[in-house]
Amino acid sequence: MEPARGALRASGGAEALLGELEVRVQDVVRVSSWWERHGVDCAILALSLLALPPGFLCLRSENLLVFALGVTILGVCHYTLTVKGSHLATHGALTESKRWSKIWVLFFVEVCTSFTAEHAKYGHVKMHHGYTNVLGLGDSSTWRLPCLNRYVYMFLAPLLIPIITPLVAVERLREVELGTALRTLGLISLGLYSHYWLLLNVSGFQSPSSALVCMLITRSLLAHPYLHVNIFQHIGLPMFSRDKKPQRIHMMSLGVLNLPRLPVLDWAFGHSLISCHVEHHLFPRLSDNMCLKVKPVVSQFLREKQLPYNEDSYLARFRLFLHHYEELMVQTPPITELVGLQ
């Protein structure tokens, strides 16, 4: 009976801590304007859409610098729409309207990202957030490719993400209803063909092969940091077993890491994936801008309660994964047991 009472006390204490933090964060959210809660991030996404025509037009130029500018614009806009847009839409953080949330998920995830909305929600929201760093459930194991050596994985594999993503989406269509599969296939085709058509008819590419190569280049422009960020912020941190996972506040404070602010990645990926990942995992329905606003509250609270608040630089994590690749990305990670907290 004593271990059971201890577990209940630990559980109650963790819930009380999380409840106290939620009150502090909600106080910040309550006094924030619509612009702070949703407007800033919607404006960034709108600007990215508005920047697409100039980007396609720049590709018509014979001037190398102007052409490179066009590639850069399209690449950054692509990742802003596919990573930041899809991430916020999947969490319902773009709007408080359920109807518009469903529309934005289909647009950003299926049309822009070429993935399935249902699997994005299930894999990311339900599994990754519900079971963060729990082995076999939300442990980021989908990012592990033990068959690749460290240099191929860290430097070459990211270039294949634009090709692999729609292929994985099509493969997973077998698991959904026929109507959903047809809708997803239609929206993915619309997004890919629109990009291809615009390169031919607006940017003036003369051959299908050159247009396809340009599609690959723009869609892989930020593929390296995209892959790196997804492994840096969870893998290498404490991992938990299914039957002994800690309470939510301990799970998120131990198993999530923030990177420093990086202007290009902040814009294209969003604060919740870069410098406010801990805050995002604790409060996943907050927008990127609100995660940034509550960051001082969350960091101060966790340190005040002597809970971990993991932070590290991009370069330090890169070196860690390069030097300890076998241990982190190939071998099964050890399970962390927190006495009295599971």
User: Of 203, 197, 187, 166, which Cα lies nearest the Cα of 55?
Assistant: 203
Residue 1 has pLDDT above 50, yes or no: no
User: Of 341, 145, 157, which Cα lies nearest the Cα of 255?
Assistant: 341
pLDDT in tens, 225-276: 999 999 999 999 999 998 888 999 999 999 999 999 999 999 999 999 999 9
Contact yes or no for 132/282 (Cβ under 8 A): no
Q: Is 4 exposed, middle or buried (0-12, 13-18, 19+ CB in 10 A)?
A: exposed
Confidence at 333, pLDDT banded by 50, 70, 90: confident
pLDDT in tens, 205-221: 999 999 999 999 999 99
Q: Is 125 exposed, middle or buried (0-12, 13-18, 19+ CB in 10 A)?
A: middle
Type of residue numbered 225: P
Cα 299 off chain centre by: 21
Say what the pTM is.
0.93
